[in-house]
Structure 1
């Protein structure tokens, strides 16, 4: 019988920089499923003021805004001023642009393996 996995106190941890982007973007995968056919990865994404970041999803992701604020837009022209408690679903193939006046922190669950962001 599989055992649960626990990661304590992930809020407030320092996140590694997403070096492939010019934006002040940071991300860490904290929990990864062991299902290689249908992986699930959960973690935190932080963006700080400065350059916006555009990302094309190759997997499905759900993101909950846990702190700060984001301006999130997609390639259809839809834009949302996102704050704490807002929930998003980004389908595979969507191109999303993130920006923030100060900072934003999101908790995500993505249908991908570890480090495949």
Structure 2
């Protein structure tokens, strides 16, 4: 089977998550074709906003920060100022808050179908 390659995927413009007062953008870039254990990957961009993004995960996801900086916190009070190279695992059911004083970009891989979430 042939591999799939997307040159400079991190530079692709992502669609808005359409949350009022929140400059958050998310786009699926690749998806597996395994119907039983589908995984999706893509990029999430958080820009400075009036409101943070509060997101409840309905699936398991892993994210690595590839550029910029984000403050990421969970419902248990844990908070991290994340920079390039930092990796996160967000279990299904977790509520995570994202914000940025400028911008941050994360690459994600989630156990869900394309467009869900």
Q: Which runs of 5+ in 1 are unaligned?
A: none
Question: In 2, distance between residues paired with 1:76 and 1:12?
Answer: 33
The Cα offsets for residues 64-92 of structure 1, whole Å up to 9 and x where unpaired, read as 00011111000011111111110000000
Aligned residues: 115
CA–CA distance in structure 1, aligned partners of residues 2 and 53 of structure 2: 37
> Corresponding residue for 1:80?
80
Find the aligned partners of 1:53 and 1:84 in 2 and give their Cα distance.
19
Q: 1:7 and 2:42 equivalent?
A: no
Unpaired runs of 5+ residues, structure 2, are none
Shift of residue 41 of structure 1?
A: 0.3
Residue equivalent to 2:30: 31
Output aligned runs, 1:1-117, within 5 Å: 2-19=1-18, 21-22=19-20, 23-50=22-49, 51-117=51-117
2:10 aligns to what SS in structure 1? coil
Q: TM-score, normalised by structure 2?
A: 0.94
Q: Which secondary structure does the structure 2 equivalent of 1:11 belong to?
A: helix
1:112 & 1:29 partners in 2: Cα distance? 11
Q: Deviations over 1:40-82 (max 9, x none)?
A: 0000000110120000001000000001111100001111111
C-alpha RMSD over aligned residues: 0.9
After TM superposition, give the deviation of residue 101 of structure 1 in Å. Answer: 0.2
